[in-house]
Chains A and B, each alone.
Chain A
Amino acid sequence: MQNPVQIIIIDDNFRSNDPLMVDLQEKYGDSNVQIFRRPNEGIKYVLDHLSSKIVVLLDMDLGTSEKRGDAVFAEIQEKTLLVTVIIMSAKLQSLSNEELRGFINNHAFSAIDSNASVKTNLPIINKAVNQLSLRVDCALEEWILRHSPEDRDKPYLTLIGGEKYSLNQILAEIRKNTELGLSLQKKILNLTVELLARQKEKLAET
């Protein structure tokens, strides 16, 4: 079975019984929706679970004595670009242009009003989750999961330097945004495009 998507909410005021929680837990499973009130704990969790598929709902205002949401966002982005982040704010209109530019340039998925109704915000979160499956790492994960658990840990790729990587290790490298991961990802994309170009007929059949 494919690994479940995790929804991580980093917000100091988000109630654990908020109706949005009820819907999220119903859709993604109780244990896959978690709230972190302190930004550092949230960051740590996300960075410790880079091999999972994660959507982060990140509040901008995390309390007077804590980091602001943009700093949390930057910290996550520094380590990986493969975590989807949705910015939440009760004062969306008062975000500065500098902050907004930062979010857009760094590919925040969306910015939502934390006071809006569930009907408004839930579809955006679902869209972010759906988008995950369109990414290389997630497509690769799906493909890896079609192999037997033993095969997944067998050496699959040998680099020029002699290092061997299993399928699971390749996936981890991509998720962690390492140099090898980035280079592999680029090659997979290029290869895919080239294969598509050569076998257009097959593409048309799907």
Chain B
Amino acid sequence: MRSSNTSTLKWRFDINVLRLIGRELISDRITAVYELVKNCYDANAKEVYVEFEDDKIIVRDDGLGMTFEDIRDKWMVVGTDSKRAEHFSPEPFRRRYVGEKGIGRFATDKLGRKLLIKTKKEGHDFWLFVEIDWAAYEQKTNESKFKPTELPEKIEEENNQESGLVPISLKNIREEILLFTDVENNYWFEETSHLSTQGTSLIMSGVRDEWTDKDLEHLNKELSKFVSPFYGKKTPFQTFINSDQHKGFKNLEVRSVAINLASHIAEIKFGIDDQTNEEYQEFLSFDESSGQIKPKRISKPIFGFIQMKLYFFNKEAKAKYNRAYPNKEDRIDGIRIYRDGIVTTPFAENEDDPMKRRDILGIDKRLWQDTFTRIGTREVIGFVEITKDGNPQIIDATNRQDFVDTPEYRALKEIIIDQLDVFSKVKIFQRKRKELLNEASYRESIKDLRTSTKLVEQIEKQNPTLAADLAPLKGQLESAIASSKRNLDEQKKMHEEFLRRENIYLSLMSLQEYAAALAHAVRTTVGQILRMAEFFVEKFPNPKYDSNFKEYAKQIYDDMLTLNRVTDFMLSYAGSNLEFEELNLKVLIERLFHLYRLELEKEKITVHLEIDGNIVLFANQKFFEEVIQNLISNSIKALKDTENKRIKLSGWAEDDHFIFYFSDNGPGIRPEIRDKVFDLFYTETAKEGGAGVGLWIVKTRLESLAGKVKIVENEMNPTGTTFQITLPFSKN
């Protein structure tokens, strides 16, 4: 019952802002509810209920509540954001405000046509009610648009229907007037004796869209990730979804169901070392001997300190999860970034179609690298914890679609992907162990069968009369041994076949990338040739352009040669043998340098080779040869103007890979172009005949061998270039 008379309240704001913020910036309904829950969090609420009733959605919390003044002066006044002056909510939680943009309130318009606010502060003996009818605001705007009232008389007089200009000016002026609306909103108070109660309910009626079970499940999923598990413990914040009309949503506690079933959990933290007193950041590493993930320490990363918790689901864990939570597979959906405990905006949106979901961290975009062991977003749930103060360079983009592309953000992305790669190693380790176990069990059973055969033979020796009876048993044991041996051989063959297919697959996938890069590069070159040919067509003859004509004729010729070389390379690829084999690297590399000996002697280049003699690599010979040949020919060009020309190649085995350094003492490569030199058609040696193809071949060939190349600190004096190349002995 209303205990006081209803009064009215007016807010003055631009209706366009309401539209922009309420309907357009808040892209979907899930985000709208999300924004409202954020406001509850900011109000120190401990429990939030999102309730769905007939034609109503209610967001109810036990937070601090609002006074009449709060509502009148702050709640819907654009540009007034009380949260900006203060960054944290009051005691006891001191939560960092997350609804900073002050847009949560406009989300109510996205959800329903009418809003009733019911709110109360602790200690007050009344509830405050405010009614807002969004439709009235819209109606007001529409009405005003066509009413020529309130316009200055002069313009009215001069309004001439024949001129097209006047209506524009009228419209402008009307819009100016419409910046402020005069809709009256009812409010009243109701007495209560429960002084200690506090909280706010937003009761939205005239619900704009239908909410299905599926929508509620999406909401459940998104809300379950609102607070990071690191932070949840510090300040209790629990959300419930309640609906009688949707099955399974009666006071449903929103919680992350998936993480309990993960097969592996890893966590990294940061802190101060007790002994050295130095700050450190933990970083995951995989210990081959124990098969365990262990954190290692590194110094402070450029993006600041982070905490991260990763829950990895191997095949068995995923199957278990799917049995426990059918049709909720999309709950395992990758890594999210939390700032001060709350999920960052780019991750708050809802997308039904998994193909359209944005892969902000680029986890699934890693193309074909390690296809068979790569960890994708469907196998991991992760919580990366950053703070506003500790990681100031990780900034939400203004379009709320991503983070701003800063070097710090790039480094953060890189480190997150690196952490996932640790789980790839777990995957490989487990597969290997399984194979070994299978092999061991076959060997064990062969051994057992042999022992049994010997026993039978002994019995036969002692009791020759039993020979006829024991003969069938002996026969069975022999055939069991033969069959176990066949199984063992079969398994070995299958393993080899798997490796062979994997290698071929990797090569083919790299070919796909070649094709894309090549098509792009060929098109660019053809475009350049086209414009130069066009220049001749349009301007020849004209003495003014003689130098251009000459230059372009030469350029067209060079471009054609480059195109020729690239297509030759593609043809060679088409004919390549994609099989992998064991290669003795020392022998192979020495033979390759021998092939170049005449050219190296002619250029007076001294070669120094230092390769460990016993290294055998399982790789494709042609690909490896092309890597070395292109590095040699790149160095010959780079050394053109150098005195005392030197090339050095030193290589050795390190853990599970072969590492070698290829150096020359040429002029060197400037640090700022070190990444670019591997791009197709990028060249710094155009005068020496460089077409920007060689180092691209080096990079792409190495990738198809699951290897890597990078330019590292030069080991030659005083100038030079050093390439570091790593190749795994076997991907298994």
Give Cα A193 to B548, complex, Å.
Answer: 50
| Chain A 160-206 interface residues, beta-carbon cutoff 8 Å to B | 190, 193-194, 196-198, 200, 203
| Chain B 380-406 interface residues, beta-carbon cutoff 8 Å to A | 397-399, 401, 405
For B545, what are the chain A residues with a Cβ–Cβ distance below 8 Å? 22
Give Cα A198 to B679, complex, Å.
Answer: 62
Query: Which residue of A has the minimal Cβ distance to B401?
Result: A98
Which residue of A68, A115, A200 is within 8 Å of B523 (Cβ)?
A115
Which residue of A63, A65, A102, A117 is within 8 Å of B531 (Cβ)?
A117
The total of chain B residues at the interface (CB under 8 A) is 37
Determine, out of A12-20, A45-53, A144-152, the stretch whose residues face the partner at the interface: A12-20
A81, CB-defined interface residue at 8 Å:
no
Give Cα A114 to B527, complex, Å.
Answer: 8
B468, CB-defined interface residue at 8 Å:
no
Given known contacts A20-B531, A119-B534, A197-B158, is B165 in contact with A67 (CB within 8 Å)?
Answer: no
Over the window 521-551 of chain B, the binary record of Cβ atoms lying under 8 Å from chain A Cβ atoms (1 yes, 0 no) is: 0011011101110110010000001001001
Give Cα A115 to B181, complex, Å.
Answer: 52
Query: Which residue of A has the minimal Cβ distance to B410?
Result: A65
A19–B531 contact, CB under 8 A? yes
For B616, what are the chain A residues with a Cβ–Cβ distance below 8 Å? none
For B538, what are the chain A residues with a Cβ–Cβ distance below 8 Å? 118-119
Which residue of A64, A71, A90, A98 is within 8 Å of B527 (Cβ)?
A90
B172–A13 contact, CB under 8 A? no
For A65, what are the chain B residues with a Cβ–Cβ distance below 8 Å? 675-676
B155–A78 contact, CB under 8 A? no
For B679, what are the chain A residues with a Cβ–Cβ distance below 8 Å? 63-64
Q: Is the interface of B mostly helix, strand, loop or mixed?
A: helix
Give Cα A196 to B555, complex, Å.
Answer: 56
B681, CB-defined interface residue at 8 Å:
yes
B570, CB-defined interface residue at 8 Å:
no
Q: In the complex, what's the smallest C-beta–C-beta distance from B326 to chain A, in angstroms?
A: 33
A91, CB-defined interface residue at 8 Å:
yes
B532–A19 contact, CB under 8 A? yes
Give Cα A197 to B528, complex, Å.
Answer: 51
A116, CB-defined interface residue at 8 Å:
yes
A19–B168 contact, CB under 8 A? no
Query: Which residue of A has the minimal Cβ distance to B152?
Result: A194
Give Cα A63 to B680, complex, Å.
Answer: 10
Q: In the complex, what's the smallest C-beta–C-beta distance from B434 to chain A, in angstroms?
A: 37
Total A-B contacts with CB atoms under 8 angstroms apart: 83
For A67, what are the chain B residues with a Cβ–Cβ distance below 8 Å? 405
A193–B172 contact, CB under 8 A? yes
Give Cα A116 to B527, complex, Å.
Answer: 6
Given known contacts A19-B531, A19-B535, A116-B527, is B158 in contact with A198 (CB within 8 Å)?
Answer: yes
Q: In the complex, what's the smallest C-beta–C-beta distance from A81 to chain B, in angstroms?
A: 14
B681–A13 contact, CB under 8 A? yes
B169–A17 contact, CB under 8 A? no
B523–A90 contact, CB under 8 A? yes
Give Cα A91 to B517, complex, Å.
Answer: 11
Query: Which residue of B has the minimal Cβ distance to A195?
Result: B169
Give Cα A33 to B398, complex, Å.
Answer: 31
Given known contacts A63-B679, A65-B676, A90-B524, is B530 in contact with A117 (CB within 8 Å)?
Answer: yes
B169–A90 contact, CB under 8 A? no
B530–A22 contact, CB under 8 A? no
Given known contacts A19-B531, A90-B527, A116-B527, is B676 in contact with A200 (CB within 8 Å)?
Answer: no
Given known contacts A116-B527, A118-B534, A118-B535, is B555 in contact with A17 (CB within 8 Å)?
Answer: yes
B438, CB-defined interface residue at 8 Å:
no
Can you sample 29 A-B contacts with CB below 8 Å?
A17-B551, A18-B531, A19-B532, A22-B545, A38-B672, A63-B675, A63-B676, A64-B679, A71-B405, A74-B397, A74-B399, A78-B398, A91-B520, A115-B527, A115-B530, A117-B531, A118-B531, A118-B535, A118-B538, A119-B534, A119-B538, A190-B169, A193-B165, A193-B169, A193-B172, A197-B158, A198-B158, A200-B163, A203-B165
- The residues of B with any CB-CB pair to A shorter than 8 Å are 155, 158, 160, 163, 165-166, 168-169, 172-173, 397-399, 401, 405, 520, 523-524, 526-528, 530-532, 534-535, 538, 545, 548, 551-552, 555, 672, 675-676, 679, 681
Which 7 A/B pairs are nearest by Cβ-Cβ distance?
A115-B527, A65-B675, A19-B535, A193-B169, A19-B531, A197-B169, A71-B405
14 more A-B residue pairs beyond the given contacts A22-B548, A117-B534, with a C-beta to C-beta distance below 8 A: A13-B681, A19-B535, A19-B548, A22-B535, A22-B545, A68-B405, A74-B398, A90-B520, A115-B526, A115-B527, A117-B531, A196-B165, A197-B163, A200-B160
